[in-house]
Amino acid sequence: MGLLKDYTFEKAELFRKNSREAINTVLADNKFIDQNLINKTFEKVNSLNFVPHCYKLEKEYGWTNEKINHSVKLYKEWLTLQVHYENLSFAPSELVDEFWHVHILDTRKYMADCQVIKGEFIHHYPYFGLTEQESETVLESGFELTKKLYKQHFAREYLGYEGQLSASCGCRSGNGGSCR
């Protein structure tokens, strides 16, 4: 196997610039989605079966029932927000991110679940904040937006299990979520 011949520093810099321009972590206070629409989507999300994912988290990750149940609630809310705020770049909590990754890796179920709640695939964008400085700044503003959305739509301020940390891997939503 040889090196990728088409890869150049210039192409990488252009990609980095374009991906950075696509990041949007600003939402005016008067631009929230109507709560009735949020509630209808949340009903669809509640119809999904997450037992296989919970079982995996218990058996392979050693999660307690308390942690699993808390993460399911947060993840259902996260999916609901994903449907309605796809043009924003908001970062999941570490807990939601772990659950999201387990769900995504069950590819057939994830695809089917996305069809139920959105009618299309909810993408995961893996190039968010490629440098450490960009990553920290963007993750902080993205997680602030996440907290704002959870507070507005679910009256929830605590988004973690043992802390309110954003995902450290750079995951985000908005034109798909991300992880690096």
Residue 133 has pLDDT above 60, yes or no: no
CB 95 within 8 A of CB 70: yes
Asked if residue 162 is part of any domain, the answer here is: no
Which of residues 100 and 172 earns the better pLDDT score? 100
Q: Is residue 124 part of a domain?
A: yes
Would residue 21 count as lying in a domain? Answer: no
Q: What is the pTM of this model?
A: 0.80
Residue among 96, 84, 66 at smallest CA distance from 172? 96
Question: How would you class 112 by CB atoms within 10 Å of its CB: exposed for 0-12, middle for 13-18, buried for 19 or more?
Answer: exposed
Q: What is the pLDDT of residues 53-99, one digit of tens each?
A: 999 999 999 999 999 999 999 999 999 999 999 888 888 888 998 99
> Long-range CB contacts (< 8 A, 24+ apart) of 14-18?
15/127, 16/130
Work out how many domains the chain is built from and give that number.
1
Its domain, for residue 98, covers: 30-154
In a domain, 89, yes or no: yes
Question: Phi and psi for 8 in degrees, rounded to 5?
Answer: -135, 160
Half-sphere exposure at residue 113, Cβ-oriented, CA atoms within 13 angstroms: 25
